[in-house]
Amino acid sequence: MGLRICYQPGQGRGVVSGGLVLLEPSESNAELAAQLSHLCTHVEDGLGDGCARGSEAARASEERARGREDRLRQRLALPLRVGPAAADEDYARRCPAR
């Protein structure tokens, strides 16, 4: 599956919606690369909207994505993301009936 990238002011951290990646244009190229590495992991994992595969798949994909992003952040001398992964909260918000 190919991805399209759209820069949307006010987006904050990037998100994947279908085959479209939405990124904040005011971020540095290094920051965008780190976010894109994270989001591409979810695409590679076939997560889709995350609902059909279940919360365990969403949690596992988030763990892999954060690991990949953190490794790239270290190489690019970017600060590591702080705080717990929000996979469970994100899943509950997007998939309330599950």
Taking only the tens place, the pLDDT of each residue in 38-58 is 988 888 888 766 677 788 888
Q: Which amino acid, 1?
A: M
Residues 1, 40 contacting (CB under 8 angstroms): no
The residue extents of the domains of the chain are 28-94
How much of the chain exceeds pLDDT 90, in percent?
30
pLDDT at 66: 92
Mean per-residue pLDDT for 35-39? 91
Mean per-residue pLDDT for 16-31? 87
Mean per-residue pLDDT for 61-87? 87
Instruction: Report helix, strand and coil shares of the chain as percent, to nearest 5.
Output: 45, 10, 45
Give CA–CA dist 54/77, Å, rounded.
34
The pTM score is 0.81
